[in-house]
Structure 1
């Protein structure tokens, strides 16, 4: 989800659409059957990188009207994105990172640990695998100084961090935050864990907790700064900043077990 200038660009996974909403009217910009529209990132070229989360996944580049410009279905070694693409973040130099999630069976029970992080270099044509063996990799973010990459492991209910090297490769993988040590688990779901995230200008991480009904604000040192409880539902999925980071816009599914994923957008005041 993006929310610049009081306009929202909303990927709708269940109906395979990307919509633009101005607060009154919703307009479908892209409909690609079988994509499972999920993570969305704005590039330096003013195009969108869209995560197709349906397995096997894909990454699609769109112009601002929703027209497809490029599509990737494999990495630099020709491997399909088994597990689906979940989220994407663009770096200050024009590169991008994306997460590969993992198998989502019916019934949805976590299975193989096949999550990955992919990297597209500035001006690059192919996505390169830079990390693997992640337990359902989900949200992803980069620190303001561009030196640290954060990624959610949903099933592990934790955030990882990596050092970003000059060539875009990753090193020094470590646990950054175990969410069950920061807040009490709301339930015993296997899917209780971090979803998408945003990072503010001070480097604080705002992460949505799927099945948890909350947004956690965490300092760069891993300290819990605030918990935003979301009354609209337990399926908090993403967060975006309003002007000057004074407000947060949160996407939330009322019941995360609902196969139709009916939800809403909630605006709340940030606590600085």
Structure 2
């Protein structure tokens, strides 16, 4: 049994954790902020994001990209603040969500596809790719809430969690960023995926909110490990000095009003044997 330790608490709802430059960057989605925290728990506000931030990534020149959910935009953090990198409202039918950015600066952005918190019926949606010049296009359709995503170390494969299909789906990445050769990487049964991260043995850690756990999944669906958390696990990231710290974003639920009122969100950590790999 692994022991989970609380790195920081008092968050509204943490999402999109990313390890970079000795810190964990993440979105406090329902507090409309992007923050960073070091291994000692010292936090700092990176920027305010009124449109509700989610997925994070970086361009090759080091500028941060931030998904702005409710206005369905991809934002870029310049020296003078957040600027619009791309308007996705014509390509994403509902709120945007998580994202992975490849080594060339191409951002792959998922979206809900329907009003989850308004209790609408789930329906399929799109996965959008934004090139570094801001040109956006749909690269996959009929996705059941594309959520967490990873890119393998060779840059040739993107794997996305489809929350409402309870599976991980893989694509080949073309020279122009196109996604082809769609296939099921792993069926997850009763464990719908949220945020995910990849390790050096090509296994994927998956945050499973409905099960209050993170699981380590091998290609084909074998679950190699389960780690329970006290509330619900919504995202995970490998990082730390040796890449073996598993950061888990947890919260009692994802309801915006309740999250802002209770501030029950946390970043929790545990140590694992296999270090991170690939992106994010």
RMSD (Å) for aligned C-alpha atoms = 2.4
Q: Which runs of 5 or more residues in structure 1 are unaligned?
A: 186-191
Q: Deviations over 1:192-216 (max 9, x none)?
A: 6111111223432222112222222
Alpha-carbon offset, residue 119 of structure 1? 1.6
1:36 to partner: Cα distance: 1.4
Cα 1:7–1:223 shift into 2, 3 Å: same
- CA deviation profile, 1:238-263 (whole Å, cap 9, x unmatched): 32322222211111113456843322
> What per-residue deviation string (whole Å, max 9, x for no partner) do you get for residues 124-157 of structure 1?
3211111111111111111111121111111111
> Alignment partner of 2:193: what SS?
strand
Change (3 A) 1:209 1:106: closer
Cα deviation, residue 100, structure 1? 2.1
Aligned equivalents of 1:144, 1:117: Cα separation in 2: 21
CA distance in 1, matches of 2:241, 2:209: 25
1:246–1:226 Cα change, 3 Å: same
* 1:118 equivalenced with 2:118 (yes/no): no
**Counterpart for residue 189 of structure 1:** none
Q: Map 1:39-188; keep pairs closer than 5 Å.
A: 39-54=55-70, 56-63=71-78, 67-74=81-88, 79-114=90-125, 116-121=126-131, 123-180=132-189, 185=190
The number of equivalent residue pairs is 253
* 1:16 paired to 2:52: no
CA distance in 2, matches of 1:4, 1:232: 27
Equivalent residue for 1:188? none
Deviation of 1:97 after TM superposition, in Å, equals 1.5
- Secondary structure of residue in 2 paired with 1:155: helix
Which 10-residue stretch deviates more, 149-158 or 89-98? 89-98
Unaligned runs of 5+ in 2: 1-16, 275-280
TM-score (norm 2): 0.81
Alignment of 1:219-230 (within 5 A): 219=218, 221-224=219-222, 226-230=224-228
Distance (whole Å) between structure 2 residues aligned to residue 45 and residue 158 of structure 1? 34
TM-score by length of 1: 0.83
User: Deviation at 1:109?
Assistant: 4.3
Pairwise CA distance, 1:80: 4.8
Displacement, 1:171?
1.0
The higher relative CO (CA closer than 8 Å, separation ≥ 6) is in 2
**SS class of match (2:18):** coil
